[in-house]
Structure 1
């Protein structure tokens, strides 16, 4: 509860207030507020010390003096006009200063409502420990959604003010700054010096590289993630610029396309390189059906029997990440494993992958109903 209140305060009170005073002309408005505060305090003191009721001769206590000053701000007063020149000055000066400050504030609020770009620039400058996403497209849209789902915050820099994806991102509460992310003043404007990371995710490899290098020049220790369409260029950037988090779309997507095109029961696949050798990591979700001989297996037995790693298990609506070895498989369960292609094929012969469950129910994904031989 306390954490939720702090998050609400930071999102709806603290950050908008900081942004309001970081907009153009904020220094002049701040000075005006200081002058108004001084006038307010001096007015309360003047009424408390020098105001005398013209008819009764009574003086005001502190509370009455404060209330009177607030009433004067809206051209109202419950006490007669004074005779002493100093208190008369209070009666004239307080309403005038109130109109000046209130009018300036209303103009600034109106400017904010009419110019969303200025407001989002001011909001972006208040973020800390956030991720800066440069370029707004189909890939980066999913990246932003994942960042938010992980409980982190993001700021977007996009060059095209007419990008149709901007309303969606703004609906998620993410500020979008319309600018060129390669310019250092733009990165400074989104508080890159206190950012956790920056993701260059445009469709232009050279732009992404330029953004990454500019970010490293401003903040040498910042985490830089680059999207690269050219696999060779991605490798050159890794080795030549010491930016290890460079992802080539063809490198990432090739195993997935290959997996989808083959008979292998793969949901996800990606490659890795270790010691100069390249390997394939696979992930598949299986559904345990009543006829499956895996019913009654413990997860430990499943791992030992087929040489797989069980990543997650769902049973009776409860999802468990990295489940214990003693959990027993029941009909209706779901489990996610990472294994070799051979092991996945062996398991798929005993219970269908989750994505093939409908085909199994239609009789188009036959399984073995005998219990496999233990090793």
Structure 2
């Protein structure tokens, strides 16, 4: 495909050169012709100017008197036809050249890169196959910003047609410069979910080196590679085969639970079981003092720093920095809880 495009580009460049040379030739021919037909009565510039206004069809008055000079009139007709055809060819070639260089695509790419540079607390999705697309649907449903990276541009372009605000980079996600361009320094997390375990391993290593504290979730096809992913720096490793097997078993032995979770995901309210971290600098307070009551969320549990859990926490449960609230919430509900915690900081 790239070689074919290179051939087309070369052909267009040759046509552009031909059109430009022909335009110059027409002006030279016209200038010399008028000089000869008027027997040198006019200057070279007058003859050139007469040729130019004839070719350009500007329509100014004739600066060369051709009242009784029929050969000069016929020559003007000839130059006009030749020049008009040459200009049409030139404009056509320039138009095709602009289309072939994908001017709109370049402008769109520049705007997208500028938008990516402004992102804070976003996610980087490395790999945009079936798993990557499902992750993107979940991130969109919960109002989270993300940047997708894949080497197959067709997958990215197909998704962009359905989602105009889609941000992506057509590149190799294991490259340092690519992850930096995706804003890893300000990112909240990285997904390494290509279909190749070795590629995912390289993405994990690269991301961990660029930002040691970023959370990394990796996809692993072969269970024997899970330990390698963990040693490379992945915070969580998911094996679709293992997870799929567990889901099938759950559908058999606990069908109502699975049905409830499915309905939650399909709900128009985008209900999810969310986690909200208690921020650093938060002054320890009982849960009841926050007055967390809303139709947009239900508090389920509190996870303490030592890993212990308090399910269905009581109002006297003391919240501290490093604790995590677990709630079933809509995207708006999650934002309400985050806003209440931030307000307590102020």
Q: Same fold (TM over 0.5)?
A: no
TM-score, normalised relative to structure 1 = 0.40
Higher helix share: 2
TM-score, normalisation: structure 2: 0.43
